[in-house]
Amino acid sequence: MDNEKEENKEVTVKKTGFKQSVWEFIKFVIIAVIIVVPIRLWVAQPFIVSGSSMVPNFENGEYLIVDEFSYHFREPQRGEVIIFRFPQDPSRFFIKRIIGLPGEKVEMKNDNIHIYNEEFPEGMTIEESYLADDLKTGNGLIMILDENEYFVLGDNRSMSSDSRIWGSLDKDLVIGRAWIRLWPFNKISISF
């Protein structure tokens, strides 16, 4: 008889332990959701580079963390690599480099990019040290950007669908900037 009580006691302890484990797991999930979801929605999100439009700086299959937070406090800057919704199909995400800023005139001439704005009314040539030496940028394109519009290009100009083809990029389509490269491990880097 005493053995039966001890066996029942053990079963009760196990049930209480199981309930407690389930409750601990539920609390863990709730806390994780409370922490992770806001970060994922408003601070940072993952992005996998698809395609060769940003070679040699970003290659197909590289895993990035996108900073969604800083553009709430400052404007995107020339030269920053951004992730955005493709204007012709917002369900698709693209990665490109900002070349022209709102209100500027962008001109491609003699395989160089010239920017005209209030600071440089006579124009300035953009130095693009991140490009391959033998890259051809093109000629003949002139685009005047409205307020909240950007001119973006892929670093691999011959393999990129960008503002030269589909026009300016509206600021509302910008998700954020490429912030951390996590994969491959030998190329881990942070952009400030």
Catalytic residues: 53, 96
**CA 75 to chain centroid:** 15
Structure tokens at 10: 């053990």
User: Peptide bond before 87: cis, by omega within 30 degrees of 0?
Assistant: no
All residues at 6 or more sequence positions from 161 whose CB lies less than 8 Å from its CB, including other chains: 53, 94, 154
Backbone angles phi, psi at 21, to 5 degrees: -65, -45
- Give me the residue label for tokens 């079963």: 11
Q: In what order do the strands lie in the sheet with 112-116?
A: 124-125, 112-116, 105-109, 142-144
Give dist(CA 33, CA 31) in Å, integer: 5
- Give me the residue label for tokens 């093109």: 138
Give dist(CA 60, CA 52) in Å, integer: 6
